[in-house]
A and B are shown apart, each in its own frame.
Chain A
């Protein structure tokens, strides 16, 4: 019994990521083909070299045929996975385990989402028949519950917290502005964000992730095979995932200032990777900033800040591009956009660029020599979520 991880047993040898946009002219098929072609080219392998595929998409298609048909794969296993907004990470996790098990030599994880064909604003869940008693609240409103609870618990003036949240959005906009693949490439200052009208609690649309179409892919092989394909593979240091049991919605003890699922997933990942001081050992982190209060709380859940201190750290610039621990250097969900099934792989794509020294000069982090990066991908709501944490390194050991 125990979570042992697969540290240094598999490696990423190639990645692709499309720009995240309102791709009115690209279909789900187009996005998958583009993401896969880019990943294969990056690894220098051919479609037929991939022994097994995992496709992550929340709502853009069902079954492995969604990928096999447009790619015209022949006689290969393709598994479609879904795990809320952590879908892309789940596809990657399965591909890594498949290779680590010895079942396959080379696996591919593909994430895609075509969200802009629905005709509605925001993200909308596929309706499952129910008894009609479920909440009809938006995700923005559910996450907005965090802000007043956090302010109350830690004695932060709500006006000051409003500026802290705006600063998180502003930081991610600044990073996204330097990223040609990002959906929003405009810097936004704190005052401008604070002046926006609230749409859910104290949150404005500028506290919410961008809604974009996109795709991303990763090619996975055994660690010992990695150098056959690239001089700079990324080693899988840890993969952890927790599916919450929803007790936060039932339990009067839950106070909306932390996400247990994220803390548990992080602790498991740190144990797998042998990390004891994430704030200093990690070169960077890509976290699930679906809404600004989420990033605020995640800094504590992931152990980057002490409880009740992340608002000060955010304000002090600890997580800025050239701060002590850069977070969401590619713009995050906020600025890069959030095509649900692709986001987890998009996070890894930024680590891939940064740890290999391939990020554009104007957003290359200065901490890359620490050699370790973290991706955190969640789905669901406060009190009821799934959480993934992956740790990736540019050298074994």
Chain B
């Protein structure tokens, strides 16, 4: 049986209220919030956060056996690199084996659907489909207002490794070239043709794909429980949604007023959300409209980790919807996206990382793997050849620390250091079971840091120099996804 071994969605901590935009720009900016990737997040880091959670769930569903991932596909419309592939960075951060192919699904909105379809129809034991996207545009643009930032991960495969979270029932696609939305690489603004043209084309394509998918799955519409209709046009799927409703199918809330449309990540995010929140036996569907239409149908098994009825310590999309910090100011949002340039401290900008030095320390830099001295058990972050306890040389074993909880021992706020979003909040963190790292904190405001605070590690973009995105790990308050439970702690606003 083929299907989804596990799923996970990642919503960044920060939320921008429409009211905060209206306070600056005036006019009617709609209602609710959108998710906002922090200044140190990008399409890759959000995909990695979701990927970590999906892999952790798969391990948790079948303890003791390695997840046999043989391919990783990454989809986004906001790639960190062109020419260079992005997916290998996620491959490194997730510590996948060297014989796993890691490649990008292309820089279009349809990439995630293509990767998902390919994975579902392949014979690979397990394929990890990652997606992440940042949606923005000029100040006051519809894409800024209606967009959101998120990551999602779908681990597709057979049930030979362990139980599936959802069984694949069938899928279909419809393709027709037409010009609807376009953006040149590096451009802030996404251009669009008159919306009604795209709406009509999408409506036709979605209908075609929907009927074909039902046929592929051998289902009648009445047998489908909940469907997510996803696309860049809120109204494009309206006709289909109406017909589905008439057939007794529930059309899921597309999270437009809480998350926003998250581009290439939105289909997988909605699918993860449906699988997490549907009862066993429920048939769920994804209708994704992006330069064509793709429909996927699954039956939720209830066995998968993270699925309803089988709750785990994992943080669901619903959990993340209920938390987050919506005090982000519009000015800060614009600064983070580079729409409103801000004055950095008068300090040298960071030097670019060395490619060869980074590659020598791949497991440390991307995987957050330290070393543990066999004789003294002392943990070394970064990994070392000589132990600081006892001085033994070359008697170390790898110490993977990305999922190990830590606590703040002491901290400081640095208003002088160069940072894309000053001040730098920095803490000395001690890890459970040994190991210490003085490390930057993120997703937190200065007033909320305290000695003894529990933190977890998160993969972030530290800086960008000479076009090179420099990734490493930071610590964030525990309980916000990718391990741990939501705390719902009251937080202080950010200016």
| Chain A residues close to B by CB (< 8 Å) | 118, 120-122, 124, 127, 129-133, 135-138, 140-142, 144-145, 148-149, 152, 198-201, 245-247, 249-252, 254, 256, 383
Contact = CB atoms under 8 A, between A and B. Distances in A.
A120 B351 contact: no
B184 interface: no
A124 B351 CA distance: 12
Contacts of A254: 436
Contacts of B10: none
B256 interface: no
Given A133-B382, A252-B436, A256-B410, 14 more contacts: A127-B348, A131-B354, A132-B365, A132-B462, A132-B472, A136-B462, A140-B414, A141-B413, A145-B410, A145-B411, A200-B414, A247-B388, A250-B435, A251-B389
Contacts of B419: 136
29 contacts: A118-B348, A120-B347, A121-B347, A122-B416, A124-B347, A131-B358, A132-B358, A135-B426, A136-B418, A136-B440, A137-B417, A137-B424, A138-B347, A138-B417, A140-B414, A141-B412, A141-B424, A144-B412, A145-B410, A145-B411, A148-B410, A148-B451, A149-B410, A200-B414, A201-B413, A247-B388, A249-B436, A250-B378, A252-B430
B354 A200 contact: no
Output the residue of B346, B351, B414, B437 with the most chain A CB within 10 A.
Answer: B414
Given A136-B418, A140-B414, A131 B357 contact: yes
Given A124-B347, A141-B426, A252-B430, A131 B361 contact: yes
A133 B471 CA distance: 8
B114 interface: no
B364 interface: yes
B275 to A, nearest CB: 36
Which 10 residue pairs of A and B lie closest in terms of their CB atoms, listed nearest first? A132-B353, A141-B414, A129-B354, A127-B351, A247-B388, A201-B412, A132-B470, A131-B357, A131-B358, A131-B361
B381 to A, nearest CB: 6
Contacts of B162: none
B219 to A, nearest CB: 51
Contacts of A144: 412, 414
A250 B436 contact: yes
A250 B361 contact: no
Interface of B: 345-348, 350-354, 357-358, 360-361, 364-365, 378-382, 384, 388-389, 409-419, 424, 426, 428, 430, 434-440, 451, 462-463, 470-472
B357 A137 contact: no
Contacts of B438: 135, 137, 249, 383
Contacts of A383: 438
A136 B416 CA distance: 10
Given A250-B381, A252-B430, A131 B360 contact: yes
Given A120-B346, A131-B353, A249-B436, A140 B364 contact: no
A256 B411 CA distance: 11
Nearest to B415: A199
Nearest to B429: A252
B426 A137 contact: yes
A136 B417 contact: yes
A34 B412 CA distance: 41
Contacts of B451: 148, 152
A260 to B, nearest CB: 12
